[in-house]
């Protein structure tokens, strides 16, 4: 960068003659990063559009305030949250010392490491959780962990131009007062957990979500949520010492959200608030407890989304697409898991969701690659939600014909592989996933429309075998993760043969090993209860009263409180 002429900054001194003219700063009140780059700044807080677009650190002077009254109010509330978060963090017990997973996962310093120079100056500098992240074969995800971990390195002079926007050499509000050990949690969240939040076939842009992490650096509540998710993920992965930290951070986030809402410090439509609600829902799904409350946070996310629909604002279409698909996905599966029939998609929300899902945030990619969760078939997941809500409807027969027509249409489109060619491998993965969900939806529909049908019914038995075939042909090279808990639960309720049951057990174990998601444990426990009931010797009694009262394994799908209610009885 060409140094600024000192004569320009001090008019009292004589100005030396120079041929090259140093351009003046194009902004006087914008962020320091835009001033250093001599770029215009829209002064959007906490991250201006220019820094967000170029993945740069958006740094502001401490005395700088947003020009608008509303922005200054948000800034004031942000400073208040910083101090409250710091006092809460200091009062909470800190995680265990750097033993177990922290010490074992500390990467060795290497001269060939691209970030060794930035972290070797201090013996207490945090490091990533991936031991390969400091070698010359640094992966894309490990680059992000080093970027964030640089935030805990003290420096009086913040960097100017940085390769990754999350790389900061100062402590932003969301990171002030944090113990050093939390850097490990944030690195784990970015390297290990965040990639699970989008489907492998989706465009790579949806797997980064760097904006959400940068936003957490300015909002302590959102940072608490991300660190809590990382802690619960580590605790399930064989590091129980992080469970205490997970609960503490989760409670801190809940208290912070409650105070923010009660004090009126939020407009209710901020990006960080939506991300926090979704993150709390994800935390509950990853918790291994049988008493999860993911539905509560999902309802909160819907309320926030409804407020966002009414508020005019600048939209980041990639983020909006993630929000829309996340709401539809969680509402469709939690309706069966937890009995989340309280989720109601109003006409206002449906109109907004349809508008978002019909756009392509990445124009050069097809619609299915622009879909981080739903494979471009959001109509299938809306159909799952509509069918699940009919389990207790006494007038459900009148909806049978239109629902069957919708299901046939979606199934026909999936089977015809009508997806636009872009990447054949990813396209094949997307089709296989949607086929598995479509087959499970058929089972659900047949059972809800004919509650008296059992597993021996020829129609249901045929669809169950079709679902098993979908599982058998799944390539071992492709990721099998928490996304498949829902179809495995539905298909598993219709199994009787020992070999088929063993196949389901193997796939659920694979999901657990890959993701450590609590849903995998709960689905496994639910199915084991169903299978044990099917194999109970008493059930083979020839007495009529026993045979007529013996429930069918598929009957568990009819529970109004959700299938996981079986685990709480």
State the average pLDDT over residues 211-238: 94
**Predicted pLDDT of residue 205:** 87
Q: Where residue 20 falls among pLDDT bands split at 50, 70, 90?
A: low
What's the pLDDT tens digit per position in 110-164? 333 333 333 223 333 333 333 333 333 333 333 334 444 443 333 333 333 333 3
DSSP letter at 126 equals: -
- Cα–Cα separations (whole angstroms), residue 208 to 67, 224, 288, 330: 31, 19, 27, 21
List the one residue out of 45, 40, 34 whose CA is nearest residue 271.
Answer: 45
Mean pLDDT over the full length of the chain: 77
Q: Where residue 277 falls among pLDDT bands split at 50, 70, 90?
A: very high
- Cα–Cα separations (whole angstroms), residue 142 to 135, 178, 191, 344, 444: 10, 21, 6, 40, 41
Distance between CA 68 and CA 423 in Å, rounded? 46
Residue 227 confidence (pLDDT) above 70: yes
Distance between CA 565 and CA 291 in Å, rounded? 9
Tokens representing residue 429 in the block = 């993965």
Q: Which residues contact 80 (CB under 8 A, 6 or more apart)?
A: 265
Beta carbons of 250 and 228 less than 8 angstroms apart: yes
Backbone phi, psi, residue 183, to 5°: -65, -35
What's the pLDDT tens digit per position in 372-428? 999 989 999 999 999 998 887 878 888 899 999 999 999 888 877 666 677 788 888
pLDDT higher for 179 or 344? 179
Q: How many CB atoms lie within 10 A of CB 228?
A: 29
State the average pLDDT over residues 81-104: 41
What's the pLDDT tens digit per position in 328-378? 999 999 999 998 666 777 778 888 898 999 889 999 988 888 999 999 899
- Range with lowest mean pLDDT among 43-52, 224-233, 471-480, 516-525: 43-52
State the average pLDDT over residues 46-59: 81
Q: Which residues contact 101 (CB under 8 A, 6 or more apart)?
A: 129, 184, 234, 238, 239, 241, 242
Beta carbons of 520 and 511 less than 8 angstroms apart: yes
């Amino acid at each position: 960068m060409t140094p600024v002429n000192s004569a320009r900054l001090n008019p009292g001194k004589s100005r030396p003659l120079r041929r090259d003219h140093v351009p003046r700063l194009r902004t006087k009140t914008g962020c320091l990063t835009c001033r250093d780059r001599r770029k215009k700044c829209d002064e959007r807080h906490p991250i201006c559009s220019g820094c967000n677009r170029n993945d740069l650190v958006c740094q502001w002077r401490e005395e700088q305030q947003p020009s608008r009254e509303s922005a200054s109010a948000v800034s004031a509330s942000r400073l208040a949250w910083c101090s409250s978060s710091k006092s809460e963090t200091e009062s909470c017990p800190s995680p265990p010392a750097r033993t177990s997973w922290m010490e074992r996962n500390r990467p060795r310093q290497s001269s060939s490491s691209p970030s060794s120079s930035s972290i070797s100056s201090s013996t207490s500098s945090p490091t990533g959780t991936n031991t390969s992240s400091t070698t010359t074969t640094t992966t894309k995800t490990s680059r992000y962990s080093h970027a964030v971990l640089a935030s805990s390195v003290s420096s009086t002079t913040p960097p100017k131009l940085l390769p990754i926007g999350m790389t900061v050499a100062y402590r932003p509000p969301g990171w002030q007062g944090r113990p050093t050990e939390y850097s490990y949690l944030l690195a784990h969240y970015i390297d290990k957990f965040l990639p699970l939040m989008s489907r492998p076939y989706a465009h790579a842009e949806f797997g980064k979500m760097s904006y959400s992490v940068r936003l957490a650096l300015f909002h302590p509540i959102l940072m608490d949520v991300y660190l809590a998710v990382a802690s619960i993920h580590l605790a399930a992965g064989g590091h129980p010492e992080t469970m205490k930290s997970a609960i503490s951070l989760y409670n801190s986030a809940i208290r912070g959200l409650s105070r923010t809402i009660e004090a009126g410090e939020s407009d209710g439509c901020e990006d960080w608030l939506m991300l926090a609600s979704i993150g709390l829902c994800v935390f509950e799904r990853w918790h291994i407890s049988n008493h999860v409350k993911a539905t509560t946070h999902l309802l909160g996310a819907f309320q926030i989304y409804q407020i966002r629909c009414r508020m005019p604002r600048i939209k980041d279409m990639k983020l909006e697409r993630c929000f829309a698909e996340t709401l539809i996905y969680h509402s469709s599966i939690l309706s069966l898991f937890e009995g989340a029939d309280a989720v109601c998609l109003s006409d206002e929300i449906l109109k907004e969701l349809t508008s978002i899902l019909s756009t392509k945030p990445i124009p050069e990619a097809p619609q299915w690659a622009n879909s981080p969760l739903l494979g471009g078939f959001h109509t299938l997941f809306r159909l799952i939600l509509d069918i699940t809500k009919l389990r207790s409807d006494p007038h459900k027969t009148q909806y049978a014909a239109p629902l069957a027509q919708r299901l046939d249409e979606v199934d026909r489109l999936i089977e015809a592989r009508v997806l636009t060619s872009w990447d054949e491998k990813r396209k094949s993965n997307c089709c296989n996933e949607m086929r598995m969900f479509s087959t499970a939806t058929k089972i659900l529909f047949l059972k809800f429309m004919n509650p008296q049908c059992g597993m021996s019914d020829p129609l249901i038995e045929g669809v169950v075998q079709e679902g098993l075939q979908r599982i058998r042909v799944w390539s071992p090279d492709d990721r099998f993760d928490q996304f498949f808990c829902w179809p495995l639960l539905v298909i598993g309720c219709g199994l009787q043969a020992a070999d088929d049951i063993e196949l389901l057990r193997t796939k659920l174990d694979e999901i657990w090993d890959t993701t450590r998601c609590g849903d995998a444990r709960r689905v496994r426990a639910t199915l084991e209860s169903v299978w044990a009931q099917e194999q109970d010797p008493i059930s083979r009694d020839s007495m009529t009263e026993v045979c007529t009262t013996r429930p069918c394994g598929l009957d568990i799908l009819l529970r109004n409180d959700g299938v996981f209610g079986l685990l709480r009885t």
